[in-house]
Chain A
């Protein structure tokens, strides 16, 4: 078979399709989005009728994947690292239920926060949930791990985490496919109470999970993804996890390493291999993209053993993603950088697109808020978060999906009246609806603006879960129809929109305004595809 040129994300998708996946569940989030998008575009996935609709949020995705596993089939769930927080309840308990069909949980971390509000390391979740992690170092491994991960999951009776970071997710390379596996047949769990986590059953299941740990370690020891590569210079041994292995090898001409290396891509840590490296070398350097998880384990609280270098002692910066230069520095190599960036170069932060409906919303809101003073706009995760930057400078918070409404409630409770929330349509259905019910129940004096661009814009225009139904949902949740209005955010409606905003901000109760206009990007794409022209 000819090699395919695939992003890391796409390699995972192809590996899962070829590995017998029956369904994939996901909510878009950079850098994970392209996994589901690839399955959407895959002819094989269509022919095999692999389930591939976007979920409303990461928790519903995780639960649906677990449901498919209950029914005996193989499922994958994908999200970005902060999505794992949303899915955490289901994720953690899924290690206690165990699986029937194999489950792979792909969590895409974003060290350096290219498109995220933190750089949490998903491996910690897998560690305390006591499940294996697969962490590919390249696109081929990403494919192979998705392909093999279902079997591992079924063999060990737990979900398996496939952890990637932004660079691999969004980097392309040649990938060799394997023969396609058949999907599992519908088959109920042999123990009908396996998934019933009543305390008595959960305690039994948990002991089973603990008892499974040695088997997981055996799998790590014999995993083809972990490799002990010997080297003559035993002054330093190097553990290189996932993508860090590439950055390390980049620094050795012709791929010849002077020091012993443990290439690490499957967890729990293979104790024998780690011990061999530790015993044979005078000191250890740990290279891992993300937080110092392995480094902390090796070092221990009292740090009584051999010197362990990494992020904790400053050999590698404590935060941010790795790159070949950072690794070179940690190895004590000289770096010859090119010229400095000339002073004439200015920052170019992202911004709302020309003609974006959100911008009309913020221009109107800014005008009305002059009457109340600044510091009262709680916003959310999406394109509209860019209104934090000039020329808008409109928003005062962006924390997590849905927090705009609930933080406004709390601020209003504290006396900041009126408080304003700005949230998008997709984020609203993801995690805003429950908060709106809180606001309805206490008639909070807040104005909620659901800026509806009819898509999930920031991640490239995926389906919005309640397209065309936001008004009805708000009405159903119990928002007073007198204070529930749809606006059209266009320049020509500016005065009218300002008037409505002014009225609702002065109302001492809950108002919900829904400015509705299609995302300018999806609009343009739709028009282009209707005309059938493109140069992209």
Chain B
């Protein structure tokens, strides 16, 4: 039988009309019984019939332009009859009908595969792509950008009233000496290295993209010999040369974008969990970068024939100086046992570094300046 009981709405009022539909060739023949006992008939052309996508207990079909007519049929045989009568005609949106007819286990399978895939992309493909992208940024942009960040952080001593943001005051004499010191070393870099010493008690230093390196005088004051300073510069210049800031930014940004892509439609809780995981991941990455900079610093010391124990001593200074007072935001140098082990393992025992008179004399001036101004 090709005739089914239906409810019908004409799109003009909400009144329920009862009747039947007969599946005919190329159209549906709808007959409506009116309350007054009369009957009327409507034809729906096959090509204008649309099914609403999700089938509950009721199959709902819409017809025509706005305002659409609606037909509801609760007979479970109706769908089967449709497929039999119009085998070449697609009433249903394929992807979701397919989906809803498949078992839940299929979807759990898909989910597991998807999760594994996402994890793989996040862990292995994304970092490579992000780093590759970071490397395509032209050096001149990096320098310009780093200078801008630098301007925002450092102020000349005379402009103290206008102080805002990080409030770091440049020490002109020490900065000049530090740059002279750096000139005596070969860092094998194409970046213009510019060192700025700031009057802060904090024991730290950081590098900005493009060549600006900021050293806190607190760190300088704790240093006993030039090897330590050379090791520090070697480390910071390595951050610049290897574009660590850019890589870090590209990586955390790509991680963030990826996570917001996959949690697009999901809920807050999942997003928060994943974002925290991403931050942990980035923390791990910055350790990697530190290790790379350490290795590079060691190489610089060796190239310049400066005593390699400088790196190990530098770590000891940083360790002692970091008891509780470091502003977390600047603490880009998490000290780990691995780093100390690395420095110890790679230092050359009984080495005979070439004495460099010029380097020694600049270092002497730095020491002299600091001991004079301390009192």
Partners in one complex: no
